[in-house]
């Protein structure tokens, strides 16, 4: 014989109690109707008994009213007896076994996709008296069943909309690390290759990486390069004694005596400074070339 679980027992008790409760509520309503009719009969009888017998017209009218009230009382009592006999539920051993057998099929019925939501609501109403929710880092649900039993459930707190779109800590750490050596576009490519996505489940591009960097206040690539002592184009041009166009051209040809680092995806670079003696040599070389070009 299968041993019933506490939940199954609570289900069966809840069903029995609900059936009995509904029957008692309907029976009380019908009984009140009978009592109202009985009160009307007593009132009509008292009015008739107080009338002067000599006043035959009033006496006949009150007697007729009394008879009407009596017929209404008899009809109400008869209907009450019939409905009570028809709707009374006697939960004998056979019916109790049938109710208990329903508890084993409760999970199947609940999980059946063909079960309408309205039926699930009715099932919950039969089972549960009330639920108290306590919201904190997690949600605690204190459930009180119809049979008096209680359960405490712990549920994860639903995410707020902004949390659903929040960039994961892993991705933030990776972007923060890559900013030391990569531009936004390069970072996006690396993240996509590794299977990372944005908080909204989309692929990365340079604009999204830039927006994340700003939104989470990560240090910019420029500030990182400046902390390492790298120079802007203007500063490198002044150090070398070249105009900015010459610095760009030499950098493109690989002839510049400085190590260049990409600043962004728009072709801008920053430069590692040279040693002073190398700077003077480069300026001198640039000056001699200028003289030779002038002679020509």
CATH number at residue 265: 1.10.1660
Using a pLDDT cut of 70, give the percent of the chain over it.
Answer: 78
The answer to whether residues 231 and 258 belong to one domain is yes
The answer to whether residues 81 and 34 belong to one domain is yes
Q: Is the pTM of this model over 0.75?
A: no
Is 152 among the domain residues?
yes
The answer to whether residues 254 and 202 belong to one domain is no
Give the Cβ contact number of residue 183 at 10 Å: 21
Q: How many domains does the chain have?
A: 4
The answer to whether residues 140 and 171 belong to one domain is no
Lowest mean pLDDT among 9-13, 63-67, 165-169, 171-175: 9-13
The answer to whether residues 149 and 169 belong to one domain is no
Per-residue pLDDT band for 50 (boundaries 50, 70, 90) equals: confident
The answer to whether residues 23 and 82 belong to one domain is yes
Q: Is 192 within 8 Å of 208 (Cβ atoms)?
A: no
The answer to whether residues 140 and 184 belong to one domain is no
Q: What's CA 101's distance to the chain center, in Å?
A: 36
The mean pLDDT of the chain is: 81
Nearest to 183 by CA among 267, 292, 276: 267
Distance CA 252, CA 266 (A): 14
Is 66 among the domain residues?
yes
The answer to whether residues 197 and 169 belong to one domain is yes
The answer to whether residues 124 and 183 belong to one domain is no
Q: Of 197, 218, 239, which residue constitutes the final position of a domain?
A: 218
| Cβ neighbourhood burial of 139 (10 Å; 0-12, 13-18, 19+) | middle
Confidence check: pLDDT of 170 > 90: yes
In this prediction, residues 159-174 reach a mean pLDDT of 79
In this prediction, residues 241-250 reach a mean pLDDT of 92
Lowest mean pLDDT among 136-150, 219-233, 273-287: 273-287
Is 145 among the domain residues?
yes
The answer to whether residues 37 and 79 belong to one domain is yes
Domain that holds residue 89: 6-97
Q: Of 116, 138, 156, which residue constitutes the final position of a domain?
A: 156
Is 80 among the domain residues?
yes
Is 234 among the domain residues?
yes
Is 86 among the domain residues?
yes
Confidence check: pLDDT of 3 > 70: no
In this prediction, residues 176-199 reach a mean pLDDT of 94
Structure confidence at residue 212 (pLDDT):
92
CATH number assigned to the domain comprising residue 114: 2.40.50
Using a pLDDT cut of 90, give the percent of the chain over it.
Answer: 32
Structure confidence at residue 31 (pLDDT):
87
Is 1 among the domain residues?
no
Per-residue pLDDT band for 108 (boundaries 50, 70, 90) equals: confident
The answer to whether residues 169 and 149 belong to one domain is no
CA angle 243, 248, 249 (to 5 degrees): 100
Q: Of 51, 79, 97, which residue constitutes the final position of a domain?
A: 97
Is 78 among the domain residues?
yes
Confidence check: pLDDT of 91 > 80: no
Confidence check: pLDDT of 126 > 80: no
pLDDT in tens, 198-230: 888 889 999 999 999 998 999 999 999 999 999
């Amino acid at each position: 014989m299968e041993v019933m679980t506490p939940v199954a027992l609570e289900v069966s008790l809840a069903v029995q109690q609900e059936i009995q409760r509904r029957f008692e509520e309907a029976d009380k309503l019908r009984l009140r109707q009978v009592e109202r009719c009985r009160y009307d009969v007593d009132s009509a009888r008292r009015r008739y008994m107080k009338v002067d017998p000599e006043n035959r017209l009033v006496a006949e009218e009150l007697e007729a009213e009394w008879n009407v009230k009596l017929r209404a009382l008899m009809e109400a009592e008869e209907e009450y007896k019939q409905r009570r006999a028809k709707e009374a539920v006697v939960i004998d051993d056979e019916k109790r076994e049938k109710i208990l057998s329903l508890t084993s099929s409760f999970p199947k019925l609940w999980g059946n996709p063909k079960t309408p939501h309205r039926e699930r609501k009715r099932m919950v109403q039969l089972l549960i008296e009330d639920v108290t929710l306590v919201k904190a880092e997690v949600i605690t649900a204190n459930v009180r069943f119809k049979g008096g039993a209680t359960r405490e459930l712990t549920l994860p707190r639903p995410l707020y909309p902004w949390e659903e779109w929040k960039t994961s800590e892993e991705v933030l750490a990776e972007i923060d690390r890559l900013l030391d050596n990569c531009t936004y576009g390069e970072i996006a490519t690396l993240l996509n290759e590794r299977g990372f996505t944005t908080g909204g489940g989309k692929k990365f591009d340079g604009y999204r990486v830039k927006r994340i960097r700003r939104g989470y206040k990560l240090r910019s690539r420029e500030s990182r390069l400046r902390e390492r002592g790298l120079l802007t184009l203007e500063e490198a041009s002044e150090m070398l004694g070249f105009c900015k166009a010459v610095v760009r051209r030499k950098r493109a040809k690989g002839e510049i005596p400085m190590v260049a680092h990409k600043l962004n995806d728009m072709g801008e670079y920053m430069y590692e400074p040279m040693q002073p003696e190398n700077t003077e040599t480069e300026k001198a070389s640039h000056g001699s070339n200028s003289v030779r070009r002038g002679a020509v």
